Amino acid sequence: VSGKNVPLTSKELDLLYVFLSSPNRVLSRPYLIERVWGYNYFGSPRTVDVHVRRLREKLAKAARFITTVPCVGYKLIPPGSI
């Protein structure tokens, strides 16, 4: 971010990869859980929100490209699309 390395956990990196693989697409929490945590995950779907919040904190100004879609999930809007 801004020419600096940003340390991410493995789940944050997986989450970012899913966002980057599906730009401009609304990704539901269940879809993100399936892609990042796998089919056998039985925890709270709110874990997605926690990980997205942490990812946004680490991405600083670039975090504005990950938008919340109320009652659904999240969407990555690539730079230049805003």
* DSSP states along 35-55: HHT-TT--S-THHHHHHHHHH
pTM attached to this predicted model: 0.87
Tokens for 7, please give them: 């340390």
Instruction: State phi, psi for 26 to the nearest 5 degrees.
Output: -75, 125
Give all domains of the chain, ordered by start, each with its CATH number: 10-76 (1.10.10.10)
Crossing angle of helices 29-36 and 10-21, in 10° steps, is 120
- Using the Cα atoms of residue 54, residue 67, residue 5 and residue 17 in order, give the sign of their dihedral: positive
pLDDT, tens only, 8-55 = 999 999 999 999 999 999 999 999 999 999 988 888 879 999 999 999
pLDDT, tens only, 42-69 = 888 799 999 999 999 999 888 889 999 9
